[in-house]
Amino acid sequence: MGPGVLSDILRGLPKIKDPNVMVGFDSSDDACVYKVSDDVALINSIDFFPPIVDDPYDFGRIAAANSLSDIYAMGGTPKLAMNLLTFPDSLPLKAVEAILQGGNDMVNECGAMVTGGHSIQDKEPKYGLSVTGFARPEDIWSNSAEEDDYLVISKKIGTGLLTGGAKVDLLTPEEYREAVETMASLNKYAFEAAEGVKVDGCTDITGFGLLGHGAEMAKAGNVTLEIYAERVPIFPKALELASQGLLPAGGHSNMDYLRNDVIDYSVNLSQDIMDCLYDPQTSGGLLFAVKEDQLERLQYQLGEKGCENAVIGHFKAKKSRYIEIVNR
């Protein structure tokens, strides 16, 4: 099943209509949004997955950071979280406790609280959160962009390649730790860095990769995104692994899914950079769409929060494809 297929199926199912549903399956946004009152919008999201790292505590941290990210990508603040956990009988209780501890620590770091959850037995462990957050209705960010917006990224990409390389011992301890800490880093700080900035659109980068999520923003705004491939911050080790042909299966699925949406106008761009643009991310950074007069403040504030702040693209009037790759 390719990226977006499940969403396409769900959009086709009959639904009760409610005018207070501000965001639902009609778009490719990161969470659903319900207008409670003129001053309060409720944001709901859910996400979970099997381990991508060996250490159960780190797995819990990464899975929780990934789940919490959707609330920040909508312009909201997480408040409540419910654990979702599956595990086999063979998994030691200490490992289960470590997963939950990692998740709880991330929830606490963002100022929210875990209020319960649900667990079942399964053949392999899976963990994540159902998260509820809040924002003012006028502060909700959509997964979209406008003509003449610039695209700013808050984390390096390449974690799909890095986690794959780690499974076959191709990373040094330092490279592995950098990947783990990046994935476990909350997008809370990128969200806070946008204070006072007029954001026209936002999303987080996950399994569809940079190009997949960029294409979603372009489609929603009916514009074309010109990606500055050589400005994208990429883990050096990810480039090395890509040059060895180690792009994970999800990256190839992303290439296939986007084949009619992407055109390559670059000159002599290395294939390793190209592969990283499709690399599926776990708990990736935020992508901000802002006008030129907002760039300086956003980039400065992202840097102050310890985030990446590269301008990696520009949205322009709709052309033949939603994504154009250039060197720049």
User: Which residue carries 């011992």 as its tokens?
Assistant: 169
Phi, psi of 302 (to 5 degrees): -65, -45
Residue 2 pLDDT more than 60?
A: no
Domain annotation for the chain: domains and CATH numbers: 5-139 (3.30.1330.10), 150-326 (3.90.650.10)
pLDDT at position 26 is 58
Confidence band for 23, pLDDT divided at 50, 70 and 90: confident
Query: Mean pLDDT throughout 229-255?
Result: 98
The distance from CA 319 to its chain's CA centroid, rounded to whole angstroms, is: 26
Mean pLDDT, the chain, as a whole number?
94
Q: Reply yes or no on whether the pLDDT at 280 is more than 90.
A: yes
Q: Over the chain, what HEC string results?
A: CCCCHHHHHHHCCCCCCCCCEEECCCCCCCCEEEECCCCCEEEEEEEEECCCCCCHHHHHHHHHHHHHHHHHHCCCEEEEEEEEEEECCCCCHHHHHHHHHHHHHHHHHCCCEEEEEEEEECCCCEEEEEEEEEECHHHCCCCCCCCCCEEEECCCECHHHHHHHHHCCCCCHHHHHHHHHHHHCCCHHHHHHCCCCCCCEEEECCCCHHHHHHHHHHHHHCEEEEEEHHHCCECHHHHHHHHCCCCCHHHHHHHHHCCCCEEECCCCCCHHHHHHHHCCCCCCCEEEEECHHHHHHHHHHHHHCCCCCEEEEEEEECCCCCEEEECC
pLDDT tier, 6 (very low <50, low <70, confident <90, very high otherwise)? low
Give me the residues paired with residue 48 across strands. Answer: 128
Is pLDDT of 105 > 70? yes
Burial zone of 142 (CB within 10 Å; 0-12 exposed, 13-18 middle, 19+ buried): buried
* C-alpha dist (Å) from residue 223 to 105, 147, 164: 40, 6, 34
Tokens 């590269």: give the residue.
310
Local confidence band at 21 (pLDDT 50, 70, 90 cut-offs): confident
**31 or 152: which carries more pLDDT confidence?**
152
Q: How confident is the model at residue 214 (pLDDT cuts 50, 70, 90)?
A: very high
**Residue 128 pLDDT more than 70?**
yes
pLDDT band at 28 (very low <50, low <70, confident <90, very high): low
pLDDT for 20 equals: 81
Contact 238, 276 (CB under 8 A): yes
* C-alpha pair distances (Å), 255 with each of 27, 117, 252, 324: 21, 36, 5, 14
